[in-house]
Structure formats: C-alpha cells, structure tokens
Copies of this chain bind each other. A is one copy, B any other.
Amino acid sequence: MASLPVLNQPPRRSGALLDNLARRMRLHAESVLEPLGLRPRHLVALTVLRDRDGSTQQALASTLMMDRATVVGLLNDLEADALIERRRSPEDRRRHIVQLTDRGARRLAKAEFALAAVEDEVLSALDTGQRATLYELLLLAASGTAQECGPAAIASDSPC
C-alpha cells in the first residue's frame, strides 16, 4: 500500500504567511504614501469606501474589523484633508453617512499608481499571471465573506 506522506506533514496554515507578507507590503508602502499624507490604514479605508459608496461608520467598522471608536479617529484624519465627507442620515439621525469625495478618489488613484513599484518589489517572486491570481483570490476572500463581526463579537462566539 502506498504511503500517505501528506498525513505526516504538519497542517501548514496561510495565516502566518499572510501576516508576514502584509507586514512587508505595509512597511514598503509607508514611505511611498508619506508624501501623499496617507498611512496604510487610510488606504484600506479609502479602498473600501470606493467600492461601497455611502457607508455608515458602523458598517465601515465591521468591514474593516475595527472598533467604531477607532474608525472615528481614522475618518477624522481623512475628513481634515477633505478626502471623505460625513453627513447625517435623514432616515436615522444617529447615523453618519460617509462618502468618498472627488478629491479622495483622486488621491486614492494617485496612491495606487505610486504603489505599483512597491508591489513589484514585494511580489518580485511572482510573475504577472500569479499576481493577478493572488489579487483575485484576495478580493474574493475579503469581499466574499462580508464578515459583519467586530473583535468583541468574535471573542464572545456570537453568531453575527
């Protein structure tokens, strides 16, 4: 009978690799984003807001898997630079509707253009096709799940 070598290997997970690669990308990106007055977490937020025009802060926090309070500070930065706008929801005046401004969209496009060099360097071991595949898988994984769970919900095993 043939051996089953796969069973003898530890079950290697993507988590640690994902952590490591994200860190490399973030460190390289920081210096590129600095002249644009942005930090990596700002870019993540802007990217989400582009795809989802008009989000409440709460919904944004869920998508980013950050606390509401953390998002407040993040949006303050972006609003101070007029990259996003907050307006009260007419239906529910407790809510703020957050929207990317034209200026914000332009800044984001500029940042993504500048980040091409960073991606080239960090993903230098991947060819063009592999990079495209990676992007598609990341997009599918990130948007497909749509986990509306914050850290607290995860820890408490709530269904969310």
Contacts and interface: CB of A to CB of B under 8 A. Distances in A.
Interface string A102-144: 0000001100110110110111111000110111011111111
Interface residues on A, range: 35 or more
A137 B133 contact: yes
A142 B24 CA distance: 9
Grouping DSSP codes into helix (H, G, I), strand (E, B) and loop, the A interface class, with mixed when no group exceeds half, is helix
Contacts of A20: 44, 48, 64-65, 142
B15 A18 contact: no
A155 interface: yes
Q: How many copies does the complex hold?
A: 2
Given A23-B65, A25-B15, A124 B145 contact: yes
B12 A112 contact: yes
Contact of A15 (B13, B119, B125, B154): B119
A38 B68 CA distance: 27
A18 B18 CA distance: 7
A11 interface: yes
A137 B147 contact: no
B141 A123 contact: yes
